[in-house]
Amino acid sequence: MIGFENVRKEYPGGALAVEDFSLEVASHESVVLVGTSGSGKTTLLRMINRMVDPTSGVVHIDGDDVSRLDPVVLRRSIGYVMQASGLLPHRTVEDNIITVPVLRGTSRAQARVRALELMETVGLDVSLATRYPAQLSGGQQQRVGVARGLAADPNILLMDEPFGAVDPIVRGELQLELQRLQRELRKTIVFVTHDIDEAFLIGDRVVILRPGGIVAQVGTPQEILAAPADDFVRTFVGADRGARSLHVERTDGRDVVVDADGRAAGVLEAGAASP
């Protein structure tokens, strides 16, 4: 479990990135932080692996205050998939994937076997193992980024707009792959995006942020769609836009969440729809 308790982040120079944020993420849950640019998403994500230390407040993992943990050890135990893949350009795909396991003492030979397994897991042809990142398509690079995040078999996977840099079709494929992976692997995932549709697709729960890391609403996609907390959320989720990929329709006295093709994506539990 990951817990944020009243965390605040003021960067030197005065930017107040996060005012006062609290949240618990259960083990094996996927939570998506969604908000406009500058709303503090990356800052919050990086507090988990201590790439950012909060100005005040506490982040804990399974009850341990992360500020008492060695940041290097912590970072190597948590998968981190950066925006635009963050691959090392002068290393092959395989070497990119095995960086962290090798740092943690796994033999190169063993790590290589694992790298090829992971490439299959994320849907990459193993023949690409010896290529360099620049010799891959954007979507392939993103998959390498995900494989690298999974390489140390972390319980926690942090993903910062991991599919931001690819076209909508590849992005859709990657989103579906991640859903499939999550069904198999059941990691605890904290995922950042500014795309509400992506958030609803990937999150067991979604946290909608205002600037300053202020929580506008937390809930399952169905809960948020059925009962947006206020006008900010309503606008953000496009409830007033009509055409969106997920929306709520009332059928036979039940509220059903329907996707863009009219397929039912879920039924709201009793009470969830009443504000």
Ligand X SMILES: Nc1ncnc2c1ncn2[C@@H]1O[C@H](COP(=O)(O)OP(=O)(O)OP(=O)(O)O)[C@@H](O)[C@H]1O
Give the interface with ligand X as residue ranges (CB under 6 A): 11, 13, 15, 17, 35, 37-43, 194
Binding site partner of 85, from ligand X, Mg ion, none, Cβ cut-off 5-8 A by kind: none
d(CA 227, CA 69): 40
**Three-state secondary-structure class, residue 108:** helix
Contact partner, 13, from Mg ion, ligand X, none, Cβ < 5-8 Å per class:
ligand X
User: Which 8-state DSSP code applies to residue 173?
Assistant: H
Shortest spacing between CB 212 and ligand X, in angstroms? 8
**CA 161 to centroid of chain Cα atoms:** 7
Q: Which is nearer to ligand X, 2 or 17 (CB)?
A: 17
Residues at the interface with Mg ion (CB under 5 A): 42
CA angle 160, 58, 232 (to 5 degrees): 55
Cβ-based nearer residue to ligand X, 141 or 193: 193
Q: Is 74 left (phi over 0), alpha (psi -120 to 50) or beta?
A: alpha
CB 9 within 8 A of CB 47: yes
Q: Which does 228 bind (CB under 5 to 8 A by kind): Mg ion, ligand X, none?
A: none
Q: How far is the CB of 208 from ligand X (least distance, A)?
A: 12
Minimal CB distance residue for Mg ion: 42
CA-CA distance, 177 to 181, in Å (whole number)? 6
Least spacing, CB of residue 11 vs ligand X, in Å: 3
**Amino acid (1-letter code) at residue 25:** V
Compare residues 42 and 222 and give the one whose CB is closer to Mg ion.
Answer: 42
Judged by beta carbon, residue 37 or residue 127, the one nearer ligand X is: 37
Q: Which does 175 bind (CB under 5 to 8 A by kind): Mg ion, ligand X, none?
A: none
11's contact among ligand X, Mg ion, none, with CB below 5 to 8 A by partner kind, is ligand X
CA dist 159 and 91 (Å) reads: 22
Rg for the chain (alpha carbons), in Å? 19
Rounded to a whole number of angstroms, the minimum distance from the CB of residue 251 to Mg ion is 38
Compare residues 24 and 38 and give the one whose CB is closer to ligand X: 38
Nearest residue (CB) to Mg ion, 42 versus 175: 42
Residue 86 Cβ vs ligand X, minimum distance, rounded to whole Å: 14
**Minimum distance from residue 89 beta carbon to ligand X (Å):** 22
Sign of CA dihedral 47, 50, 53, 57: positive
- Pick what 222 binds: Mg ion, ligand X, none; C-beta below 5 to 8 Å, kind-dependent: none
Comparison of 42 and 182: residue with beta carbon closer to Mg ion = 42
**CA separation, residue 237 to residues 37, 161, 203, 220, 250 (Å):** 16, 18, 14, 13, 18
CB of residue 104 to Mg ion, shortest distance in Å: 27
C-beta atoms surrounding 94 within 10 Å: 21
